[in-house]
Amino acid sequence: MDFSRCFAKKSVLDIQREVGTAKLKRTLGPMNLISLGIGCIIGTGIFVLSGHAAALHAGPAVVLSFVLAGIACAFAALCYAELASVLPISGSAYTYAYATLGESMAWVMGWLLLLEYGVASATVAVGWSGYVVSFLHTVGLDIPLQWANPYGGTFKRPDGTEGTGIFNLPAFLGVAGVSALLVAGIQESARVNNVIVCIKLAVIVTFIVVGAYHIDAANWHPFIPENTGNFGDFGMSGVLSGASMIFFAYIGFEAVSTAAQEAKNPQRDMPFGILGALIVCTLLYILVSGVLTGIVPYTSLNVPDPIAVGVDAIGMPWLSFVVKIGAIMGLTSVMLVLIYGQTRIFFAMSRDGLLPPVFSTIHPKLKTPHIGTTLLGLLIALIAGLVPLKQLGDLVNMGTLVAFMIICFTVLYLRRKEPKLTRPFLCPAVPLVPILGIVSCFALILGLPRETYIYIGVWLVVGMLLYVSYGMQHSKIGINLQKAPKSVQAAVKKARKPVKKARKK
């Protein structure tokens, strides 16, 4: 087996040619792209993790945690914006790595993105299920709890007795419905997402405005609770650990880059969509976390629905009802965009031969990767229905942070190796911004639990085994190299001759 093929690269020119041969339908404008980003970003982070980070790590200083995570994402977003304008094609970070670091690293990137999109969407589906079950209960409809919890998961009935879950049916149906919508067409999906985004933005703004009148400043003291003696338990280390936890809240801004082949004017609109979505969501996160910790003591926010706790403290039942609707809508759009991003990344990997061709088969009328979307939707739905995913949030964060570091390095690499490339959008202050992106992402990795390092190691080993057993054997670049081994060897020998003569002298 020739492992030198692992380092084969796709040239930037070849990738740019693929843009013109794409069969996907270009229907997304700049506002659609911003909406796509907001649809993915605002969800689990603001409705769930904001409370956990405040109660367990940062206290009222969770506001600073959102700022730190937002800064790290801003550095990465600027790098993403430049790469998306140079390589406006489906595949996102996977394609960028293929052009710079070679095939094996591109596979690693694609495998990490499976954490960011596929596993994350299943995690979000479980949270969505909880809000749906709670909402249905308020209107008099009760789903048997054994059918709203994963297999083997324990739960408590209203009478205090414990039960065991069979299957999380609402989570399964939620993913299945979103996948069906994506099969129907990206334009239809974008319209639904736009409506959902408008609803949840209205809910969040309402919470901020109403909650601002019920803030008790005493709840903000001390702003940074004193460290307990353990790293991450409050103090400045707690702010860092809080930032590492709520980093999950920002996952999604780069999902805009997966829509490059369905954007009307990707060179102009991709940077606009990526940066616009990140700016809007960062501001909302800071305001929501500040209002929430001002309404109730941070110690009471370690619950699945912290925003609802804040609303209940205000004493407005109608607002509690509205918030639950907003949470369901918000998490629906997150599932929609995450699954969409995963299907487009697998589309690109399949087109390159690293995954089976079914993932890049396009429906002749709908112009969507219908088979791949159906298969991925079914897999994610089963995971959401069967597996309790409470501990996978940190694993998703680790994978995403590593991917962001690779993206920042890619910008540095292309600026050095391809300085004459046409760049519709330029990342400012290179090499400073990419380096700061790498450093800040690494700092957030240090704030994650140590067992996460073991999990990510196992994940990468499994991924490389799949690459060696399938991807390396079916890679289109690898097959092309194998067809002409003599010419390649002759070129290598010719390039080495001057070096040998120089050594003899």
Q: With residue 184 as reference, give the H or E element that holds it.
A: helix 169-184
Rg, Å, the chain Cα set = 24
Q: Which residues, 6 or more positions from 180, have their beta carbon under 8 angstroms from its beta carbon?
A: 377
CA-wise closest residue to 339 among 367, 376, 371: 376
Helix (H, G, I), strand (E, B) or coil at 316: coil
* Environment class of 57 (CB within 10 Å of its CB; exposed 0-12, middle 13-18, buried 19+): buried
Cα–Cα distance between 108 and 104 in angstroms, integer? Answer: 6
Q: Is the peptide bond before 88 cis (omega within 30 degrees of 0)?
A: no
- Please give the pLDDT value at position 434: 94
| pTM metric for this prediction | 0.77
* Environment class of 343 (CB within 10 Å of its CB; exposed 0-12, middle 13-18, buried 19+): buried
Cα–Cα distance between 363 and 180 in angstroms, integer? Answer: 13
What DSSP designation does 153 have? -
338-372 confidence digits (pLDDT tens): 888 888 888 888 888 889 998 888 888 877 888 98
What tokens appear for 75 in the block? 């550095």
Residue 438: HSE in the Cβ half-sphere, 13 Å Cα cutoff = 12
Q: Which residues, 6 or more positions from 494, have their beta carbon under 8 angstroms from its beta carbon?
A: none
> Given a cut of 60, is residue 258 above it in pLDDT?
yes
Q: Packing angle between helix 306-314 and helix 266-295, nearest 10 degrees?
A: 50
Mean pLDDT, to the nearest integer, of 109-117? Answer: 83
CB atoms < 10 A from the CB of 362, how many?
Answer: 17
Q: In terms of pLDDT, which residue wins out, 499 or 385? A: 385
Cα–Cα distance between 268 and 274 in angstroms, integer? Answer: 11
Q: With residue 278 as reference, give the H or E element that holds it.
A: helix 266-295
Structural domains of the chain in order of their starting residue, each with its CATH number: 3-474 (1.20.1740.10)
Q: How confident is the model at residue 85 (pLDDT cuts 50, 70, 90)?
A: confident
In the block, residue with structure tokens 């084969």:
8
Percentage above 90 pLDDT, the chain: 14
What tokens appear for 90 in the block? 């489906």
Q: With residue 154 as reference, give the H or E element that holds it.
A: strand 154-156
Q: How confident is the model at residue 461 (pLDDT cuts 50, 70, 90)?
A: very high
* Dihedral angle computed from the Cα positions of residues 278, 350, 434 and 447, in that order, rounded to the nearest 10 degrees: 70
Percentage above 70 pLDDT, the chain: 86
Helix (H, G, I), strand (E, B) or coil at 155: strand
> Given a cut of 70, is residue 493 above it in pLDDT?
no
Cα–Cα distance between 110 and 114 in angstroms, integer? Answer: 6
Cα–Cα distance between 201 and 209 in angstroms, integer? Answer: 12
Q: In terms of pLDDT, which residue wins out, 208 or 3? A: 208
Q: Which residues, 6 or more positions from 219, have their beta carbon under 8 angstroms from its beta carbon?
A: 60, 293, 294, 295, 296, 297, 298
Ranking 33-42, 251-260, 393-402, 485-494 by mean pLDDT, the lowest is 485-494
Amino acid, res. 399: G
Contact call for residues 85 and 270 (beta carbons, < 8 A): yes
Residue 150 Ramachandran class (φ > 0 left, ψ -120 to 50 alpha, else beta): beta
Residue-averaged pLDDT of the chain = 81
- Please give the pLDDT value at position 25: 66
List helix spans (H) across 28-168: 30-41, 44, 50-53, 62-86, 93-100, 103-114, 120-138
- Please give the pLDDT value at position 487: 54
Q: What angle do CA 87, 91, 97 make, to 5 degrees?
A: 70
Q: What angle do CA 248, 249, 253 make, to 5 degrees?
A: 95
In the block, residue with structure tokens 């009307």:
264
* Dihedral angle computed from the Cα positions of residues 477, 479, 485 and 487, in that order, rounded to the nearest 10 degrees: -50
Q: How confident is the model at residue 37 (pLDDT cuts 50, 70, 90)?
A: confident
What tokens appear for 426 in the block? 């330029």
> Given a cut of 70, is residue 22 above it in pLDDT?
no
Residue 165 Ramachandran class (φ > 0 left, ψ -120 to 50 alpha, else beta): beta
